[in-house]
Structure 1
Amino acid sequence: MTHSATTEKRHDGKPEGTGTGGTKPRRRRRGRIVLLTLLILLLAAGGTAYWLYSDLDGNIKAVDLDKAIGDDRPAKLPTSGQNILVLGSDSRAGANAALKTGHVSGARSDTALVMHIPEGRREAVAVSIPRDTLVTRPECTRADGSKVPSARRVMFNSIYSQVGSACVVKTVEKISGIRMDHYMEIDFAGFKDLVDAIGGVNVTVAKDIHDSSSGLDLTAGTHRLNGTQSLEFVRTRHGIGDGSDLGRIGLQQQFMTALLSEIKKQDLLGSPTKTYKIADSLTQALTTDSDLASLTALADFGRSMNGVDPSTMETIMLPVAYDKVDPNRVVAAEPQASALWEALRTDSVIPESAKKSPATGGSS
């Protein structure tokens, strides 16, 4: 059974999630902090005090990947390396209610990163999968037990809303040949309470941003954003650049970095009440695989990752090319994409050729 992805066009006819022909991302995006790093830092900041917050375990939602996917998965790494799928979900109902932009149901995976931590835990690579990439979705099982047949040419970010997070994990494993050891998802709408809990976040914008859709209205310069403004910031798209989703992804990454910096500044150990409030906000927005669905497991995992230096983390976009049938969508570019996945599977150095994306005219 074959399904076609719904076409979403921008005003300039280019696909959402890709830039114009003149958009050329930097060769290496070092120092970008992904959602997982934020979580690890927060737990580490609590140190040995995490056991005080055992009642927060109930906030964390869990996905049993083994039950949902079964044995039809790639083999685990022969080393102690780890692969984690990190999703930033875009809750349409939560986001629009907070932004007062109407009532839209459903959710989509707004940001998807395959985070690879090689043996030794000293460095990390995160591969970003563009949301409008056409993929073959494998046969999946929904949370209610119903089967969903395989489908070709499905837009990647639609899988989350149509079938569920376990199917997103299975799809990533199929296209990459890499087993995801863990899964983490954070709802962007959940950051509203988190930002308010820490007293706001400073961001600097080079140009004025005026987006009537998200409600964001900022002049060039540095601003301290509250929770609602932060949600507007990560949701804005029409008020920056050419209106493509690349601009929004850039703002989300900037916001994650700013949020991490703000948490580092705060004396969480010296304020148990504040630490609890922050942890409560974060865990309410968090979904993990069942193996990580407790503060104890998360803290243990976070401590095992202490050797990873976020400043040396490299984020690479999956090399993509415009689809020949539907130029408003992209597909994995070959042989670059296969070479990238192979390097991660074998803990090898990623060749520069595997980072070049034809859709952007240069390095991904």
Structure 2
Amino acid sequence: MTGTHRGVTDRRPGGRADTRRRSKRKPLRVALAIVASLVLLLAAGACWAYFELNGNISTFGANGLARDRPGAATAGQNVLVIGSDSRSGDNSALGGGTGEVGRSDTAFLLHVYADREHAIGVSIPRDALVDIPPCRLPDGSWTKGRTNAMFNSAFSVGQAAEGNPACTQNTVEKLTGLRVDHTVVVDFEGFSRMTSAVGGVEVCLPKDVYQRDLSPDRSSRGKLIFAKGIQKVSGQRALDYVRIRHGIGDGSDIGRMQRQQAFVAGLLKEVKSQGMNPTTLLPLADAATKSMTVDPGLGSVKKMTDFAMSMKNIDLHNTKFVTVPWRYQGARVAIAQPDADALWADLKADRTIDGKNAGGKSPSPKASPSSTPAVSGEGTGVAVYNGTAIPGLAARAADTLEAHDFTVTGTANAASQDHAATLITYGPDEQERAQALARLFPGAELRPATSAGISVTLGRTYATAPSPGASASAASPGDVADHARSADDNPCSDLSYG
């Protein structure tokens, strides 16, 4: 009888043993096919994300940058961040500015220290009076430089819907003496999307806020927009929060700017808390790049990623936000000197606002604020005037000046006694001497005059100074450090900003 015996394996093709071998190999092949498919899907997803994000990025031309730029820093980097309130595109639905011309609603200079463990964002008031250097127009021609112009007008040079970020960058470089390595412009739409992508940002309000607080021209206070206390905001509500100027705080743009600093700090805290992973970063990157314009140095996903990764070790507590030293000048804001120049010098030397070296190497003696040469006024004559009703100020200042070898040509009361800040006037070819003199009067305004001679008119700020001669150093980090906000601060701390 033909057949197989018990215990003898059937080795014919298609027999039971062959079927068993194929059945064992089938799950393996299926598993490999699934893994291969997943790898292909992930690779395709990564490629899609890469090209999608790359396609989102818009850049502005570098041909509008000044030709006489400051030299590049050795290791630290400076990034100018501009918030635009243009109504162009989808921004019109979010309450941007009037008209199609791009305007700078807010701006801050982010300095990343060379040690990549510290960073600081310095806000520049949009109403600050500054010198705007020549800037390139859309037709290729260049404007003439302007003095005593509002800072945010630089972004509107050329009246283009996308603004003029190169002109703002030129203005910041002239103001600070620092080279701006990268510039980023974010519009209302991009800001709204980013806050939604992270699930909202925690804020704290000192009081209830109504519609009229956002739009003062309303005849009634309108509906409640924000209730007093802690809450998370995103999208349009986040935008409304950072734009509120009236109804809370002192109603000034300075107060709103400090509130914006607190919001950016909260945004950083939210991103850190969710983790630096694709789940968090991809939606955020997609939202940001869709409404962001950058310089060519950041014009690709790789360039952005490399820069972002260079900051991954910066702790929230070591991320600070400050406002450039300022004072009111009528309805506008003036940059307070020599305090502002001291801040820029600290950043250039990679010194933190509390005086620590963050350059990744030991500081040289010349870089230390304590080794700044003493002020010498030898050969400089100064007339001193008391611009307050406080007796004895002119004599006090005269003693300080003579201790630093200035020649006091006379002391008297000023024509008016309502000066809040100290004023230093100087004649032609005397600017350098006046700047040296100003180091003894922190916060003083320097103003050129047509006639020869240098004079000091003392203001009330001088009367409250602890020691008129104690500021012989060019650095004045104390006041700036005292008002700094860290990214890990409680949102309800120091509500004076809101």
- TM-score scaled by length of structure 1: 0.74
Q: Report the AA paired with residue 300 of structure 2.
A: S
Q: Distance in 2 between matches of 1:195 and 1:305?
A: 20
- Which of 54, 57, 66 lines up with 1:60 in the alignment? 57
> Which stretch of structure 1 is more off in the superposition, 301-310 or 162-171?
301-310
The answer on whether the counterparts of 2:157 and 2:167 sit within 8 Å (CA) in structure 1 is no
Q: CA deviation at 1:102?
A: 8.7
The answer on whether the counterparts of 1:216 and 1:233 sit within 8 Å (CA) in structure 2 is no
**Residue 225 of structure 1 corresponds to which residue in structure 2?**
233
Q: State the SS of the aligned residue for 1:258.
A: helix
Distance 1:322 1:286, change over 3 A: same
**Residue 299 of structure 1 corresponds to which residue in structure 2?**
305
Q: State the SS of the aligned residue for 1:84.
A: strand
Q: CA deviation at 1:96?
A: 7.0
Could you tell me which runs of 5 or more consecutive residues in structure 2 were left unpaired when the two chains were aligned. 1-44, 159-163, 216-222, 356-368, 370-438, 446-459, 462-477, 481-498
User: Any idea what the Cα deviations from partners look like across 1:217-262, whole Å, max 9, x if unmatched?
Assistant: 1111233334121111121111312221123223322322333333
Q: Distance in 1 between matches of 2:246 and 2:264?
A: 20
Q: Distance in 2 between matches of 1:143 and 1:293?
A: 21
Q: Report the AA paired with residue 109 of structure 1.
A: S
Q: Does 1:280 align with 2:286?
A: yes
Give the fraction of aligned pairs with identical amino acids, expressed as a percent. Answer: 40
**Residue 70 of structure 2 corresponds to which residue in structure 1?**
74
Q: CA deviation at 1:308?
A: 2.1
**Residue 334 of structure 2 corresponds to which residue in structure 1?**
331
Q: State the SS of the aligned residue for 2:103.
A: strand
Q: Distance in 2 between matches of 1:101 and 1:156?
A: 19
Give the aligned CA root-mean-square deviation in angstroms.
3.2
Q: Report the AA paired with residue 255 of structure 2.
A: G
Q: Distance in 2 between matches of 1:208 and 1:151?
A: 42
Q: CA deviation at 1:319?
A: 1.6
Q: CA deviation at 1:136?
A: 1.2
Q: How many residues align?
A: 308
Distance 1:322 1:278, change over 3 A: closer
Q: Larger RCO: Structure 1 or Structure 2 (Cα < 8 Å, ≥ 6 residues apart)? A: 1
> Which stretch of structure 1 is more off in the superposition, 335-344 or 281-290?
335-344
Distance 1:320 1:226, change over 3 A: closer
Q: Distance in 1 between matches of 2:109 and 2:337?
A: 18
Q: Distance in 2 between matches of 1:268 and 1:340?
A: 32
Distance 1:307 1:198, change over 3 A: closer
The answer on whether the counterparts of 2:61 and 2:295 sit within 8 Å (CA) in structure 1 is yes
- TM-score scaled by length of structure 2: 0.55
Q: Does 1:173 align with 2:173?
A: yes
Q: CA deviation at 1:133?
A: 0.9
Q: CA deviation at 1:320?
A: 2.0
Q: Does 1:363 align with 2:479?
A: yes
User: Any idea what the Cα deviations from partners look like across 1:49-73, whole Å, max 9, x if unmatched?
Assistant: 97643221121121233x2225321
Q: State the SS of the aligned residue for 1:152.
A: strand
The answer on whether the counterparts of 2:207 and 2:229 sit within 8 Å (CA) in structure 1 is yes
Q: Distance in 2 between matches of 1:244 and 1:205?
A: 16
Q: Distance in 2 between matches of 1:92 and 1:216?
A: 25
Q: Report the AA paired with residue 181 of structure 1.
A: D
Max Rg structure: 2
The answer on whether the counterparts of 2:130 and 2:150 sit within 8 Å (CA) in structure 1 is yes
Q: Report the AA paired with residue 297 of structure 1.
A: K
Q: Distance in 2 between matches of 1:147 and 1:169?
A: 15
Q: CA deviation at 1:192?
A: 2.0
